[in-house]
Structure 1
Amino acid sequence: MNLKYMGSKSRIAKYIVPIIQNYINENGIKKYVEPFVGGANIIDKVQCEEKYGFDKNKYLIALLKRVQSGEELYEEVPKDLYDKARTAFNNGNTSEFEDWKIGNIGFIASFNGRWFDGGYAKTGYEKTKNGMRLRNYYQEAKNNILTQASDLKGIVFGVSDYKESIELPYDSGMLIYCDPPYQGTKQYANAMTFDYNEFWQTMRDWSKNNIVLISEQNAPDDFECIWEQEVSRSIKAADKSKSTEKLFKWNGGVIQKEMDHRLIFPETSY
């Protein structure tokens, strides 16, 4: 599962989508895969004949499929409903809820989209440079994901661990974009056992027959950074904390060695 918050890539999509798209166009790529699809904030903008988005979190995939199909989400999520769903999830018994409902509550009604670890995103006032403003975080997050609905058409979503995801539409000559849980940063409890050595070796293996791009803040020495940008870390206007996002690729793969790396970074708006 994408173990950063759900909308973590929305702030940098305008930077990295043109890079991804350039690789697709210049190399005649027909199949695009995201093994950590998260909030689908990159895959919904990439243009490719076939697009696959996988995540280990079945509730997230159920939510994305519901939005994709144009079905309604919760109009609002009161605190008691949030607590009930969180308790059910933590107890391992969500049978009272449909999967999309757990996804709706857990991602959209949690602060910063951080699943149930983020806490309830209650409506409240926020201090800005222009004074106080009322923020309904649930409605903002809900509206954001609903605006994606038309851009999710044609994407094949599936529940899968990242290591298994490439076996499902298995092929060579794909472009694979990975957004794993960042090493050394705050993560959900069930990300603590993520095997980074295994992950980077998998990236090397995939890169031998495919173009693989990875979002991270750091990478092993045999991966080169092809882009980096400082971005805001919070949805709160008063929170000025930033982090540096980077995009890596392996520098030892046959495809990468034979490719022309003169990337074009056009100004793109969506």
Structure 2
Amino acid sequence: MGVENTTPAPYEALDRETVSLKYVYDIIMDKMKVERRPVAITFCEDAPPEGYEALNEPACTLIKEGSSGRKVYVDSSNNACFVGLYHTGMHPGMDMIKDGSYLTMSQGMFTAEGARINKETTPNLPQGQYKAIAAAPLNEVPEGVPVHLLVVICDPQRAMMISGAALARAGSLPFGEVGWSVCSSLYALPFHNRRSIFTIGDGGGRIHNSLKPSELFAVVPAKDMKYIIEMIENFAINAVDMRKEVMPGVYARMRHAGPPPGVSQNS
């Protein structure tokens, strides 16, 4: 499933001396024309960043609130959603969360077996690893506050570009996910596989973040954010010559001079 069994080292923070948050923000908003503001996620081993306000909402809602312009955090004192706190390592989890029975209680399509396997396979942050998770607009993260993840709510085409930048530049295949709790997908999954991710999220996570049917989440770890810059700075599409070699049937139907290889002018 793309998740390692061993516990990785703590999240790596972005080197803000070499990657400008404002530049990445401008690329996403102005070059890619994404509608919602990209969000910077900070995992706090101690206290939340100064100036961030406590959010008494499910942890997944950090994305919506950060995109709206707020600097917010959740910690273990939050009781808005114990499922999210369990998956982010800030709550030990009740039995009904661990065995998935809360899913069968609320959603008739889940069998007990389906819910159990769903929860058994869902990756979590290690219990107690982080005391809080904070979010802010990418271009408004205060100096000295580390950035560990970038999260963008967008359409699939832009998600393909954002989460796929590391594939284009370094060969790191993004991970596509559907079915787990969105707090796990957003915060725990990249901790374990250290790859960019795209996910539609779960029903509750989509509702709490007011996603349109056409939107999903793109998640980029700190180490991959530079590839968004590289991709856009080197962005060029000139597929004619490629099609001539590997797509001769398509090439033959294009408006251009000359037939594809192996095809005579009179064919």
Give the TM-score of the pair, scaled to structure 2: 0.32
Structure with the largest fraction of strand: 1
Structure of greater Rg: 2
Bigger share in helix: 2
TM-score by length of 1: 0.32
